[in-house]
Structure 1
């Protein structure tokens, strides 16, 4: 059984599923959050949340569980008639746990959200709503060409890229983006600051652009495989000078676990596991990777 050492630098409260999958598969997982989440002050969120409670938005778009926690802490109220859209199953679960109904769940990325909205618009535009009741109110709210453009509240990280906002605006919506929380650098154990540039980890899993940039600042040894959650993180890692060895097929824990295994044990086709809940890699599957060589440099030294 492999005992490769994998560094998981996600914030506290995130990544438990991935940790479980990797540990079941025999990896030695070291958790050391590179960032910590600081909720936005209630006074900063109050104007937008007051408008939301008054029903001034057609859609509330939530992209992460951290956003849910920040909003609930300051008294989130969603009126009847405002649709709630979640990105990813974890965000939907957080909303349900907060007692909120979710009208649409997109796959776990901002790009998937924009694509889901686009498909809804196309589906309603080419169908008779009277004979297609299953299309739902979210679809109808963004597809009526005679009505004003839907107004969207998009609370997100202060470090969030403009991709989601720009995509929704490109789909014909009026988007107000507000900062729900602020990610900040977290203090790291001396062991991590020593072992990451020193070659003490076999792999590191990067799940945000900010985490990728901090990993590059610390330094990543060339022997350490770099796995990323999606294209924005991959782009940030490459721009920071890191070599990317594998990108998850989907932004979820099973896909990240598969990507780690393919980067560390590419000659095998399935995760070594004692649990039927761990992911299996189909025969012939290849990970999404950037072209690299065994001599490619990783992160620049500090």
Structure 2
């Protein structure tokens, strides 16, 4: 994968960027923004709960361990957290859940690095179009037994795309996406090891929805980052009007959902990484003329 282009601190200096993720998932982006002189602000809008039907999930994981699947397809970092939690319940590691003959696929370099950090070897991941569509494009047409654990609200595109290539896809709800915060006792708690280097260990400034709306109304928030279609939906429900604030989407599905909801997307990150998001922010601020 090519190295990212150098960033221009002049474009980010003094910018206040709202990241609509939990603090642990916001930290790699926040660290890069801080190093470039920007002020990251964290507003968690979505959270994740364990699958309601644990019996079904446990059953397919038993089948996975028994070698019934040729491929395990992991389409989100949150699914990696589910595997960590289920492995801990069984007294093993995520690699202990996946037989050596079962290959692992994911949707891009960021998720690849996370999966490698929990001990899984990844055999297939797109580098150009880093999304479910990109993985389907790479997939070789052939009969294959595929396990696809996903969120309860996952779009059908990945499952249907793999099936169109001849795969026999078993999809299962691995977790539920909910409004922040998740219910007590139901929140997915497994912590991922740091897959990306993060400098410093300072607390991130946390915003409430009320504080975010006040900042948007006052014009003191320069951009808001939507990391997923569900985050775009929560932004549309919670924050408008955005005023002068620029919306940055991570990936085409997020941009499409934001547009469907009537939100103006200023830029879409070409890569779902901190560098990709910062590059999208820089393109927007460069087009504004002189930064604030």
TM category (shorter chain) comes to 0.7 to 0.9
Q: Is the 8 A contact 1:199 1:220 kept in 2?
A: no
Write the distance in 1 (CA, Å) between the matches of 2:118 and 2:50: 17
What is the aligned-residue RMSD (CA, Å)? Answer: 2.2
Partner of 1:186: 180
Give 2:275's match in structure 1, choosing from 247, 254, 258.
254
1:43 equivalent to 2:41? Answer no
Which is further off, 259-268 or 205-214? 259-268
Cα distance, 1:153 vs structure 2: 0.4
Give 1:60's match in structure 2, choosing from 37, 48, 72.
72
Q: Which has the higher contact order (CA 8 A, sep 6+)?
A: 2
Q: Secondary structure at the match of 2:172?
A: strand
Q: Is the 8 A contact 2:149 2:174 kept in 1?
A: yes
Cα distance, 1:170 vs structure 2: 1.5
Structure 2 CA distance for partners of 1:217 and 1:198, relative to 1, 3 Å = farther
Give 1:169's match in structure 2, choosing from 141, 144, 163.
163
Structure 2 CA distance for partners of 1:99 and 1:12, relative to 1, 3 Å = same
Partner of 2:204: none
Q: Is the 8 A contact 1:152 1:175 kept in 2?
A: yes
Structure 2 CA distance for partners of 1:221 and 1:100, relative to 1, 3 Å = closer
The 5 Å alignment of 1:189-228 reads 189=208, 190-196=210-216, 199-218=219-238, 219-228=240-249
Write the distance in 2 (CA, Å) between the matches of 1:168 and 1:197: 44
Partner of 2:31: 20
Structure 2 CA distance for partners of 1:168 and 1:101, relative to 1, 3 Å = same
Count of residues paired in the alignment: 242
Write the distance in 2 (CA, Å) between the matches of 1:94 and 1:100: 9
Write the distance in 1 (CA, Å) between the matches of 2:173 and 2:216: 31
The 5 Å alignment of 1:51-130 reads 51-75=63-87, 76=94, 77-107=97-127, 108-117=130-139, 121=140
Q: Secondary structure at the match of 2:287?
A: coil
Q: Is the 8 A contact 2:110 2:273 kept in 1?
A: no
Question: Which ranges in structure 2 are unaligned for 5 or more consecutive residues?
Answer: 1-9, 88-93, 182-206
Question: Which ranges in structure 1 are unaligned for 5 or more consecutive residues?
Answer: 122-141, 144-148, 272-302
